[in-house]
A = this chain, B = another copy of it.
Amino acid sequence: MTFPLPPGSTIGILGGGQLGRMLAMAAARLGFDVAVLTPEPNAPASRVAARTFQADYEDPAALDDLADASDVITFEFENVPAGALEHLARRGAAIAPGARALAVAQDRLAEKTFLNAAGLATVAFAKVDVVDDITDALKQLGAPLLLKTRRGGYDGKGQVWVRPGEEAGAFAAIGGRPAIVEAPANFTRECAVIGARGRDGRIALYPLTESHHQGGILRRTVAPAPGSSDTRASAEAIAGRLLAALDYVGVLGVELFEAADGSLTVNEFAPRVHNTGHWTLDAGLTDQFEQHVRAVAGWPLGPTRPAVDVEMINLLGDDIAGWARYAVDPTCRLWLYGKPQSRPGRKMGHINRLGKSTRGI
């Protein structure tokens, strides 16, 4: 495959959710076709893609079909089975971001170890294979600790707080699977940075944003984050260092904790477009979805400076019933994901509320 891919090429996407949907729409805007592989019938991304292969992610025939149809393959979620990527790689498919970033991001222990090795601060953590590991960690790191499965889990699932005496129950609660424990994050604010790295190694960073969670689920993003230019510069340095250390191609989301003194530690990163970057859809020339398509297609990255302040609000579960209220609000852009069933906490759409012009920042 020769990059840059010309318009008319096909971008393959593993996954059919709302991130795949918005990636597909950005790809179409640049003249690309999209092929989606998803086990879900009538998936949000399939409804805007030129082709869908509906099959399990490890179905070898479907992976072959996707590879045949696609000039480059990317993914919209980090828990792509390693077997799927290996199959595609054996077929000679071009995959971006690469298997390395995915492997690191899929395992919380590998992720934190990688971050520290790259010189990026995280909370203190310890590996947990058996109950005694939790007891040891509670002695070393103090209590309470947050016990998290190494793999799987998102939006606050697969994690539980643990104190001395609760080790066995906590370990059972997460299924007794390989895990880590983390010291509590000392933070006054949660933040995020969306960054991109092109095939030429160039990096483009969106400004730091402020994240507001409810029940472990992102509720709201304030972009750009209010605060000092030092903090913004530190956050951008972290994202840039991570992108380079991973030899990354594509868009990546980094979630950060900000302490009272303004210092930042990395919470986690996602090797994909990210909910904390949805504000970019209506803020300037290049949104995170177009940026990801540009990166994986070998195009130059686009400008990331926002033209306006934006507040992104997720529409979770039955929030979607209020669509008419947002449709009539002259400050809102509405993005709905076409999911037929609303469930509590399910991401059904989001709005971007545009504020004052930030041109000149």
Contacts and interface: CB of A to CB of B under 8 A. Distances in A.
Interface of A: 4, 6-8, 21, 24-25, 28-34, 42, 46-50, 282, 285, 294, 299-300, 302-303, 307-308, 320, 323-324, 327-328, 330-338, 340, 349, 354, 357, 359
A88 to B, nearest CB: 23
A357 B357 contact: yes
Contact of A28 (B25, B50, B330): B25
A34 B33 CA distance: 17
Contact of A7 (B34, B46, B307, B323): B323
Give chain A's interface secondary structure class: mixed
B30 A334 contact: yes
Contacts of A29: 25, 334-336
Total copies of this chain within the assembly = 2
Contact of A50 (B4, B6, B47): B47
B25 A21 contact: no
A285 B31 CA distance: 23
A28 B47 contact: yes
Nearest 10 interchain pairs by C-beta? A31-B336, A47-B50, A303-B330, A300-B328, A7-B336, A28-B48, A48-B48, A31-B338, A299-B327, A25-B25
B48 A25 contact: yes
A282 B32 CA distance: 19
